[in-house]
Structure 1
Amino acid sequence: MRPTERLSAATTNALDMFLRGGVADLRPMPRVLIDKGPNRSVYRFTGAGDGEPVLLVPPLAVPAFCFDLRRGCSLAEHLVERGRRLYLVDYGNVRFSDRGLGLEHWINEVLPRTVRAVSRDAGGAPVHLVAWCLGGILSLLTHADQADLPIASIATVAAPIDMTAIPLVAPIKPLADLTRGWILTPVYRVLGGAPRAIVKRVFQLSAIDKVVTKPYAIVSHLDDRDFLAQIEAVDRFTDNMVAYPGRTFGQMYHRFFRSNDLSNGEVDFGGRRISLRAVKAPVLVVAGTSDSIAPQRAVRRLVDVLDNAAEVRFETAPGGHLGVLAGRRARATTWRHLDEFLDRHAPVPT
């Protein structure tokens, strides 16, 4: 691009950013509600194909539009354009009255009911899950716990199970061990959970280098509309974080982060033990090469414990925690891995 063209593009982008409401196309992909219940709204994207259904499973505490970040960089848009029959579960907002909900609520109720609703809507076809972060862990635990669910395959992106490999956890673990976990317990019990403001700050802390350098990045890429649109979309994403229910946060803190139970592939919920070795469906595991929330070693541990799955494929892709799922480079890396995995296990009818 010639200097005059760059200047013209930068001027247009600056005017759109500061005076005309932004540069990103944040319109959600069209969808219809097919099922609703406590902590779940299940949607089918319109314009989808007739093949076996694909269900997008977000983690807790983040907006479900992580899969539909912006037009041109939306995994939902991509899968619909490839002819997939696509669905999404949205957990909605977490209220103080939800503070007693534990992880088993999602494993026992939310995800099983969602999977059955999707299968029913698709004429009884088995469901292929594509899940991000904790959504991947919950999907695997649900499948391991309820083998009768019509789950055909599971693709996880940035789903860590070895918490000793996470830099954000390492500094507080010795103190948590010394106090037997009581360093945070009174806080989340009083507040009813982890408030959305704290969740947002932790997410930003995981990419503090990008937060600090963002003003310079914007100025130096003022002529790059796609780059600016991505920053705008990510800002909207972080502004819409959701709180964790108190009991869920407590279980994650004590079972996952402090005790690191999941690293051995098993977790206990009130005397009921679930083992990831019971997973039988094919699994794709994708890790981000610069993910500080779910580093490669924390994610790759899944391969070691899914030894009874029909297939386990491990891939890496560039990007941080959100970037590996919905970054600009994910379009040619993570999404390609997902396409290849789904094409093998759920071919689109021609």
Structure 2
Amino acid sequence: MDLIPKPDQVVSAASNVAHKLLYGGLADLRPMPRTLVSDGTLRELYHYRPAGRSTTEGDPVLLVTPLAAPSLCFDLRRGCSLVEHLVQAGRPTYLVEYGQVSFRDRNLGMEHWIDEVVPTAIRETSEHCGGRPVHLVGWSLGGIFALLTAADQPDLPIASVTAVGTPFDVKQVPLVAPLRPLLNLTDGRGAITRTYQTLGGAPKPLVRWAFQLSSFQKLVTKPLAIATRLDDTDFLAQLEAVDRFTDNMIAYPGRTFGQLYHRFVKGNQLVHGTFALGDRIISMANLRQPVLVFAGATDGIAPVPAVRALLPLLSGAQEVRFEIVPGGHLGMLTGRASRGTTWRVMDEWFDQWQSPQAAPATARRTPRTTRKTAPKTAAPKAAPKKPKPAGKSAPKKPKPSGKAAPKKPKPAGKSAPQKPTEAAEPTRAEGAEPAIGVNPQRRYGSRGSRALAP
């Protein structure tokens, strides 16, 4: 809103305030309809119902929820819901969440999610879709679960893995890096260890406080932001949805929290690309599927350097693509800008790695194939056309000099820039191949992981 509000801004602000007071909010918080497919210990697999059609197209997408965060991260509100976007695009969409964690779950460790929850959800999703391979999408810790599961069990029906805001180098996290030397002084007998062992995990208030602390600046400036944008209905609706997400945080099981705290925060084990689990060691180099990695430009929990540390560890992946998108830890996944950034890249990625039986069913794959084949078919045709007019144009131009002279320089001026443009397109396509993820038409920064490789 302007310093001196305009009449229409005053009307919009008054309408938003009245709607908030009379109806309780501006956001459409209706969840997307879904059906429970199967369940188990801290495992619930849901299938989202198709929108306006009886069948869906393409390989299924399985959304992997992180611990402590509600599945609202994928279905924040209507208009800013990744689930809604996938369902409306006609993709079979599934989600695995874990329900409420209680004191009786304190002995569950990382093995439970990597050995049982995520692999079972992948198999059942594939079976529910007729045996098609599954596109895994994990946010935050959910990305770590997805990556470790894919690396540990290469026989799972996985089409691709997408990690959104997944840190692999804790030293690069500003909130944690200064505290790590102090945490290591306690040698596993500090106050934090005694607290989570006594409580049986990390309680909801602590998890909520930690998430809010990661965006402390936004929390402090929130009242001013609301006051200056009272006329922005979409902005206010997003704040309401984020507040609901934060209020529904879930506790960490005790043993899992201990593993995350000692191995990830204090030990920073993921930076080496290996993780000891039970009697085996999981290596990220064993992951064979294509991997898409997102980093948020303003993410305080998983900053760009912390996420970028994953790229050199994926030496065995079929392809690796790295994208830097706008937003913080939650905003990069389901913020207002993600509609044209993160979700758009996901659509391209899923279309690129569809299984053969699903590829013809996707409508979005046609333009991608057209862009690839057009330069190839145009190249041989353009080659003979250029020498033909080149040899004939020299004698032809002086002959009809009276009438053709003014007409031919006009198309000549237009054809001259068109020919280099057509020649430049295949050049860009060929040059873009080694730099995966680079697209000059996007409005956000992107980097190619192959360009970062030595």
Smaller-chain TM-score range?
A: over 0.9
2:164 maps to which of 147, 157, 162: 157
Between the two proteins, what is the percent identity of the paired residues? Answer: 56
Q: Does 1:235 align with 2:243?
A: yes
Q: Does 1:21 align with 2:1?
A: no
Aligned to 2:89: 82
* Separation in structure 2 between the aligned mates of residue 130 and residue 270 of structure 1, nearest angstrom: 25
Aligned to 1:211: 219
* Separation in structure 2 between the aligned mates of residue 162 and residue 70 of structure 1, nearest angstrom: 31
Q: Which amino acid aligns with 2:226?
A: I
1:19-75, Cα deviation, whole Å (9 max, x unpaired) = 311000000011111111111111111116132111111111000111000000001
* Separation in structure 2 between the aligned mates of residue 39 and residue 50 of structure 1, nearest angstrom: 29
Q: Does 1:255 align with 2:255?
A: no
Aligned to 2:12: 9
Q: Which amino acid aligns with 1:45?
A: Y
How many Å apart are 1:147 and its aligned residue? 1.2
Alignment of 1:170-319 (within 5 A): 170-183=177-190, 184-319=192-327
How many Å apart are 1:181 and its aligned residue? 3.0
1:198-224, Cα deviation, whole Å (9 max, x unpaired) = 010010000011111111111111110
CA-atom RMSD in angstroms: 1.2
How many Å apart are 1:5 and its aligned residue? 1.6
For normalisation by structure 2, the TM-score amounts to 0.76
2:293 counterpart SS class: strand
* Separation in structure 2 between the aligned mates of residue 97 and residue 171 of structure 1, nearest angstrom: 34
Aligned to 2:345: 337
Aligned residues: 350
* Separation in structure 2 between the aligned mates of residue 339 and residue 52 of structure 1, nearest angstrom: 12
Judge conservation of contact 2:45–2:94 (CA < 8 Å) in 1. yes
Instruction: Flag structure 1 segments of 5+ consecutive residues without an equivalent.
Output: none
Aligned to 1:109: 116
Q: Does 1:118 align with 2:140?
A: no
Judge conservation of contact 1:287–1:296 (CA < 8 Å) in 2. yes
Judge conservation of contact 1:176–1:182 (CA < 8 Å) in 2. no
Q: Larger Cα Rg: Structure 1 or Structure 2?
A: 2
For normalisation by structure 1, the TM-score amounts to 0.98
1:219-274, Cα deviation, whole Å (9 max, x unpaired) = 11111000000000000000000000010000001111111111010011233211
1:86-142, Cα deviation, whole Å (9 max, x unpaired) = 111111110100000001100000001111110111011111111101101110101
How many Å apart are 1:332 and its aligned residue? 1.3
Judge conservation of contact 1:181–1:258 (CA < 8 Å) in 2. no
2:74 counterpart SS class: helix
Aligned to 1:63: 70
Q: Which amino acid aligns with 1:3?
A: K
Structure 1 residue runs of 4 or more that deviate by more than 4 Å after TM superposition = none
1:135 maps to which of 127, 136, 142: 142
* Separation in structure 2 between the aligned mates of residue 216 and residue 182 of structure 1, nearest angstrom: 42
2:226 counterpart SS class: helix
Q: Which amino acid aligns with 2:131?
A: G
2:177 counterpart SS class: coil
1:307 counterpart SS class: coil
Instruction: Flag structure 2 segments of 5+ consecutive residues without an equivalent.
Output: 364-454
* Separation in structure 2 between the aligned mates of residue 344 and residue 196 of structure 1, nearest angstrom: 40
* Separation in structure 1 between the aligned mates of residue 230 and residue 57 of structure 2, nearest angstrom: 42
Aligned to 1:349: 362
Deviates more, 1:214-223 or 1:2-11: 2-11
Q: Does 1:41 align with 2:44?
A: yes
